[in-house]
């Protein structure tokens, strides 16, 4: 059974009303920061900041380094305030709450606030043999090996033959490539696969994913992308290759590795995000 965001209608209304009592800020771009990537927020001039636990019905993450803040503001470099942002500092994962509807709550909030473009990021395990820990990967396609039903909107058809041709906005992808080239960042490209978690994949699972064309694997992002596309939000996705997946590397994996790699590349990642946002105002 495919989950419908219709079930959240009243909850979303209450969350939006709570936000609007504090601020009338009108963001144009939403940015979801994955594990280890929260330092980008140091480049923001915040107008309003909400802790997710304050907002009615908003899901609260229990994962280390997912602060759960919603930051409304501008880039410090955006001195003319041409590109208002909503930055989600952290996210909720399916394995924490076993509800896809809760996972995509930030996307529904973004849509209700009038946001038209989404930059979504994550930390992922590298499967492609050409990848190294610390690389950034532009997501060109997604797979749902977890086989978890994804959320729909009221206007969605749920016929078995329904097919989306492209989840990502071509112009935004081109901007990412251009920005990476301008600031001399090696940008990998590939397919991102979503598994439920919370445990890391076994070497056998990684080999299976490799055979079906997955370049990087993680525990998030696919439900958000799916719903954003369904709602008409133009989307681009970027993965931090925080580690090499089990069997690709002999090193035992841990969440500390994810955050350590994020800290090491935070400068490059933040510069790329900054350049991308500034380019989208043109």
**Chain segment 123-137, per-residue pLDDT in tens:** 999 999 999 999 999
* Residue 8 known to be catalytic: no
Residue 2's pLDDT band (cuts 50, 70, 90): very low
Pick the catalytic residue: 38, 93, 111, 229?
93
Which of 135, 88, 130 lies closest to 269 in space, CA to CA? 135
Statement: residue 33 has pLDDT above 60: yes
Q: Which residue has the higher pLDDT, 190 or 265?
A: 190
The strand pairing partners of 117, in sequence order, are: 29, 234
Instruction: Give 169's pLDDT tier (boundaries 50, 70, 90).
Output: very high
pLDDT tens-digit profile of 228-269?
998 999 999 999 998 887 666 556 655 566 667 767 888 999
- Rounded to whole angstroms, what are the CA distances from 256 to 88, 206, 228, 277? 21, 20, 30, 29
> Per-residue pLDDT for 271 more than 50?
yes
Of 67, 71, 84, 62, nearest in space to 22 by CA? 71
User: Does 35 or 44 have the greater pLDDT score?
Assistant: 44
Confidence of residue 202 (pLDDT cuts 50, 70, 90): confident
Helices 105-112 and 9-22: angle between axes, nearest 10 degrees: 60
Would you list the DSSP string of 208-253?
HHHHTT-SEEESSSHHHHHHHHHTT-EEEEEEEEEEEPBTTB-SPP
Inform me whether the pLDDT recorded for 158 exceeds 80.
no
Instruction: Please check whether residue 32 is in contact with residue 106, taking contact to mean a CB–CB distance below 8 angstroms.
Output: yes
Which residues are 250's β-sheet partners? Answer: none
* C-alpha angle 34-40-45 in degrees, rounded to nearest 5: 130
What pLDDT is attached to residue 87?
Answer: 98
Count CB atoms within 10 A of the CB of residue 143. 17
Show the tokens assigned to 101.
Answer: 């509807």
Q: Structure tokens of 130?
A: 């050409």
User: For 73-92, what is the mean pLDDT?
Assistant: 94
Whether 37 and 14 have beta carbons less than 8 Å apart is answered as no
For residues 281 and 134, the model is more confident at 134
Q: Whole-angstrom Cα distance, residue 146 to residue 95?
A: 11
The single residue of 15, 58, 96, 124 carrying the catalytic annotation is 96
Percent of the chain with pLDDT over 70: 85
123 catalytic residue (yes or no): yes
Cβ–Cβ under 8 Å, residues 70 and 44:
no
Cα–Cα distance, 270 to 274 (Å, whole number): 6
Please enumerate in sequence order all residues whose Cβ is within 8 A of that of 204, keeping only pairs 6 or more positions apart, or say none.
247
Per DSSP, the three-state class of 168 is: coil
Confidence grade of residue 145 (pLDDT, cut at 50, 70, 90) = confident
Given this model, what pLDDT does residue 65 score?
A: 53
* For residue 44, pLDDT beyond 70: yes
Whether residue 155 has pLDDT greater than 50: yes
Confidence class of residue 186 from pLDDT cuts 50, 70 and 90?
Answer: very high
pLDDT of residue 160 exceeding 80: no
> Which of the residues 220, 239, 242, 270 is marked catalytic?
220
**How is residue 42 written in tokens?**
């140091």
Give mean pLDDT, residues 205-217. 94
Catalytic residue status for 165: no
> Domain 5-280: which CATH class?
alpha beta
Domain residue limits, the chain: 5-280
Backbone angles phi, psi at 196, to 5 degrees: -65, -40
- Active-site hit among 8, 30, 83, 219: 219
Q: What's the mean pLDDT in 48-69?
A: 83
Going by C-beta distance under 8 Å and a sequence separation of 6 or more, which residues neighbour residue 280?
29, 83, 117, 172, 175
Gap between the Cα atoms of 271 and 275, Å rounded = 6
The question of whether 243 is a catalytic residue gets the answer yes
Task: Catalytic residue, from 66, 69, 122, 242: name it.
Answer: 66
Is residue 111 flagged as an active site residue? no
**What is the structure's pLDDT at 161?**
46
Q: What is the mean pLDDT of the chain?
A: 87
């Amino acid at each position: 059974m495919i989950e419908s965001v219709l079930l959240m209608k009243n909850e979303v209304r209450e969350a939006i009303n709570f936000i609007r009592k504090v601020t009338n800020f009108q963001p144009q771009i939403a940015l979801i920061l994955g594990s280890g990537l929260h330092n980008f927020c140091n480049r923001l001039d915040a107008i309003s900041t909400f802790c997710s636990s304050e907002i009615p019905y908003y899901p609260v993450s229990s994962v280390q380094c997912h602060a759960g803040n919603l930051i409304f503001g501008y880039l410090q470099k955006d001195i003319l305030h041409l590109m208002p942002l909503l930055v989600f500092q952290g996210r909720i994962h399916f394995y924490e709450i076993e509800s896809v509807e809760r996972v995509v709550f930030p996307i529904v909030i973004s849509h209700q606030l009038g946001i038209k473009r989404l930059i979504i990021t994550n930390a992922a395990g590298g499967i492609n043999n050409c990848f190294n820990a610390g690389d950034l990967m532009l997501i060109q396609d997604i797979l749902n090996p977890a086989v978890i039903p994804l959320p729909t909107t009221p206007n969605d058809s749920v016929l078995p033959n329904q097919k989306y041709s492209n989840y990502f906005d071509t112009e935004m992808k081109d901007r990412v490539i251009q920005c990476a080239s301008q600031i001399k960042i090696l940008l990998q490209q590939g397919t991102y696969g979503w598994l439920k978690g919370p445990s890391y994949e076994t070497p056998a699972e990684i080999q299976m994913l490799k055979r079906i064309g997955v370049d990087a694997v993680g525990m998030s992002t696919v439900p958000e992308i799916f719903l954003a596309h369904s709602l008409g939000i133009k989307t681009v996705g970027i993965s931090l290759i925080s580690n090499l997946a089990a069997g690709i590397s002999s090193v035992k994996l841990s969440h500390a590795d994810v955050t350590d790699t994020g800290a090491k590349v935070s400068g490059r990642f933040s510069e790329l995000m900054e350049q991308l946002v500034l380019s989208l105002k043109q």
